[in-house]
Structure 1
Amino acid sequence: MRIVIVGAGPAGLYLALLLKRSGLDLSLEAIEQNPPDSTFGFGVVFSEDALEFLKEDDPEIFNAVTPQLERWSGIAIHHRGERVMLDGIGFTAIGRLRLLQILQQQARDNGISVTFGRSVKDPSEFATADIIVGADGVNSVVRRSDEAGFGATVAYLTNRFAWFGTTKVFDTLSQTFLDTAHGPINAHHYRYSPSMSTFLVECTEQTFFAAAFDKMNEDETRAALERIFARTLDGHPLVSNRSVWRQFPIIQNQRWSAGNKVILGDALHTAHFSIGSGTRLAIEDAIALARAIRAHPRDLRAALGEYQAKRKPILDKLVTAANASAQWYEHFDEHMALPPYDFAMSYLSRTGRMDIERIRKVAPKFAAEWERRRHGAA
């Protein structure tokens, strides 16, 4: 069996590892358009127990990644000059490049062939492969080669976002919401190493044009945002890495495979960055696909069908929550009319998965203070 994986990000590399270890008789190759030491973005954030599923299934990867994780408990919401702490909500983070380096080393140790710096223009060059896997992200060439076959749709949110890093090390996952002369803007920031943090800035479409961000180059944008978030950054600079303004794509596919092509991760679905689950979902897709191939090595049509049938119900719940979160952010300027604690409550309940009873259990200190203020005790 010949399997070609287009894209050697976390999902593509992990799928290659799983297939290599499966014991199946296969020819396996992975192809990545970027160099091995190049990546878009800065940190990858996970919920506190997001990688626990690897502890038993893949202790080698689990033990390689977990010592590298930054950990914290609680989310800080900065609004109207007040810092509201949402207690009891734990997260971890790691540098995206560091995660890739760990997986690349595992691939080398397992004898997996990864070709870096090669851009695939048309997956038909691998037409003789039994399976062509599209692990090549939002602009997937595999998906775009047969959008009708996959039943693909791509829609874009109106808000703009730009991904930076900073040498300011934040103590917890934080979000800062500001009213500026040109309109509302917010920043998502968290540390992913002892010396660096992610700093993702988002603004409404109206703010984007009113502030003339559309007319700025990358350096001008960075300088403008350093001024806007000067108090948050506390004198630290922003660091660019292809930090241009983007609109978040909502990608959906009715069918996860088309002929001998199959897709996973961002090529298949997107999960808004506000829930911090994109990388985890992509890795879990890889696990589901590898299991299906192992279960049906002589019937790949059945394998690809099982991949979608078993994974989709689980994924749909998470993507629905991510899309609800995305819609909250599309209108975050309207929510900013709320006082700080009500605003934080709106934030916590944005996906529809956290009602007041669950919030009382998960974040009891915040819930108690919110109720105290709600009844006029503030």
Structure 2
Amino acid sequence: MRVAVIGGGPGGLYFAYLWKKRHPDAHVDLFEQNAAGATWGFGVVFSEQALEFLRADDPDTVNAIGPRMQSWNNITLNLRGERVEIDGVGFSSIGRLDLLGVLQQRVRAAGVTPRYDTLIQSVDELKGYDLIVAADGLNSLVRRSFEGDFGVSMSYSPNKFAWYGTPKRFETLSQTFVETDRGAFNAHHYRYAPDMSTFLVECDRTTWQRYGFADKTIEESKVICETIFADTLGGQPLLSNKSVWRNFPWIWNEHWSFRNMVLVGDALHSAHFSIGSGTRLAIEDVIALVKALEAERDLTLALARYEAMRKPVVKKLVTAARASAAWYEQFPEHMKLGLMDFAYSYITRSGRIDNARLRAMSPLFMARYEARAGEKA
């Protein structure tokens, strides 16, 4: 089978690697419009559950990225100069460029030579391939070319965010909430290397307008954010990498394939950064697609099987992501709560964690929360 993969991000690289490794005689071409060392953003996170899922199917890749990852077992919330830790919430992180480097090595070792700096401008350029895997992200050429056939829907979250990095080291995945005279800000921050961290700044549209960010340069915006989060950064700067203000895009496709084309990752669906699942979802999509292709000899049946098996799982995650995003859209109101009530509201925001699960997952936090609730009763 001749396969064309569009997109050299984690999803595209992982499909090319996994398919070629399991089918050495297959012809696989991977096309990426950017250079091999180009990427947007800084670090990406995986939950413990996501890593275990990947380990079950591909332990070699987990072993390859494991030594490069930073790990922790709790979340820290900072509000009004107070802090609380929620135990038992394990995550690991890795620099996005570092992850791409590992996957690029594995792709080449499997026998695929990615074609970087190669822009595919029309699907017609890919005639002759039996399968086209669209791993080309939020602005997918394949999806845009056949929006009606894929049943595309798109909307945007109202909050604004800018994705920075910083040499400030944070010991856990942390959230810092700051009130200013022109509105509230939130920063999502975690280390992805011993001396580097992701630092994503978020605010509502009203606050964004009051600060005049629409008319600010990237550098001017960065300086303002450094001032707002000066205490959190401890004198360290923010670093920009295309760190423009954005609205999070919600993408969903009712149909996951059309003809011999199939979507994976952000080309197919998006999940809010507050649940940290974008890269995970792309990799799990690829695993499901490979299994479906191996289970059915007929391509049409295989792609239908991929959608039937994977869509219910993704819908649950996207539903949780939307609930999480809705909480962030109201985070200035949540900031009026006391520290423990605020933390409880935060950790239960997706609707997937009830008190029983929270007691089992985070016994130290839950004991403290319930003791405080009892004092107030």
TM-score by length of 1: 0.97
Map 1:18-29 → 2, pairs under 5 A: 18-23=18-23, 25-29=25-29
Q: Which residue of 2 aligns with 1:114?
A: 114
Q: 2:193 matched to 1:190?
A: no
- The one-letter code matched in structure 1 to 2:104 is Q
Q: Which residue of 1 aligns with 2:74?
A: 74
Map 1:84-123 → 2, pairs under 5 A: 84-123=84-123
| 1:26 Cα deviation from its structure 2 partner | 2.7
Pairwise CA RMSD of aligned residues? 1.3
- Which ranges of structure 2 fall in alignment gaps of 5 or more residues? none
Q: Which residue of 1 aligns with 2:43?
A: 43
| 1:285 Cα deviation from its structure 2 partner | 0.2
Q: Which residue of 2 aligns with 1:125?
A: 125
| 1:25 Cα deviation from its structure 2 partner | 4.4
Q: Distance in 1 between matches of 2:223 and 2:115?
A: 37
Q: 2:215 matched to 1:199?
A: no
Q: Distance in 1 between matches of 2:23 and 2:186?
A: 48
Q: Which residue of 2 aligns with 1:223?
A: 223
- The one-letter code matched in structure 2 to 1:360 is R
Q: Which residue of 2 aligns with 1:4?
A: 4
| 1:373 Cα deviation from its structure 2 partner | 2.0
Map 1:307-326 → 2, pairs under 5 A: 307-326=306-325
Which secondary structure does the structure 1 equivalent of 2:100 belong to?
helix
User: After the TM superposition, which of the residue ranges 93-102 and 326-335 deviates more from structure 2?
Assistant: 326-335
| 1:120 Cα deviation from its structure 2 partner | 1.8
Conserved? CA contact 1:164–1:240, under 8 Å: yes
Conserved? CA contact 1:24–1:294, under 8 Å: no
Q: Distance in 1 between matches of 2:272 and 2:335?
A: 20
Q: Which residue of 1 aligns with 2:375?
A: 376
Q: Which residue of 2 aligns with 1:336?
A: 335
Conserved? CA contact 1:172–1:191, under 8 Å: yes
Map 1:157-172 → 2, pairs under 5 A: 157-172=157-172
User: After the TM superposition, which of the residue ranges 59-68 and 223-232 deviates more from structure 2?
Assistant: 59-68
| 1:225 Cα deviation from its structure 2 partner | 0.5
Q: 2:341 matched to 1:362?
A: no
Q: Which residue of 2 aligns with 1:303?
A: 302
What do residues 312-343 of structure 1 show as CA deviations (whole Å, max 9, x unaligned)?
11111111111111111111112112111111
Conserved? CA contact 1:29–1:114, under 8 Å: yes
Q: Distance in 2 between matches of 1:363 and 1:377?
A: 21
| 1:113 Cα deviation from its structure 2 partner | 2.3
Structure 1 residue runs of 4+, over 4 Å off? none
Conserved? CA contact 1:137–1:265, under 8 Å: yes
Map 1:285-300 → 2, pairs under 5 A: 285-297=285-297, 299-300=298-299
- The one-letter code matched in structure 1 to 2:221 is T
Map 1:250-289 → 2, pairs under 5 A: 250-289=250-289
Q: Which residue of 2 aligns with 1:233?
A: 233
Q: Which residue of 2 aligns with 1:58?
A: 58
- The one-letter code matched in structure 2 to 1:90 is G
Conserved? CA contact 1:264–1:282, under 8 Å: yes
User: After the TM superposition, which of the residue ranges 167-176 and 129-138 deviates more from structure 2?
Assistant: 129-138
| 1:53 Cα deviation from its structure 2 partner | 2.5
Q: Distance in 2 between matches of 1:208 and 1:68?
A: 36
- The one-letter code matched in structure 1 to 2:326 is Q
Q: Distance in 2 between matches of 1:75 and 1:225?
A: 22
Q: 2:34 matched to 1:34?
A: yes
Q: Distance in 1 between matches of 2:112 and 2:234?
A: 45
Q: Distance in 2 between matches of 1:292 and 1:50?
A: 20
Q: Distance in 2 between matches of 1:191 and 1:123?
A: 39
Which secondary structure does the structure 2 equivalent of 1:115 belong to?
coil
| 1:194 Cα deviation from its structure 2 partner | 0.5
- Which ranges of structure 1 fall in alignment gaps of 5 or more residues? none
Q: Which residue of 2 aligns with 1:352?
A: 351
Which secondary structure does the structure 1 equivalent of 2:171 belong to?
coil
What do residues 163-184 of structure 1 show as CA deviations (whole Å, max 9, x unaligned)?
0000000011100011111101
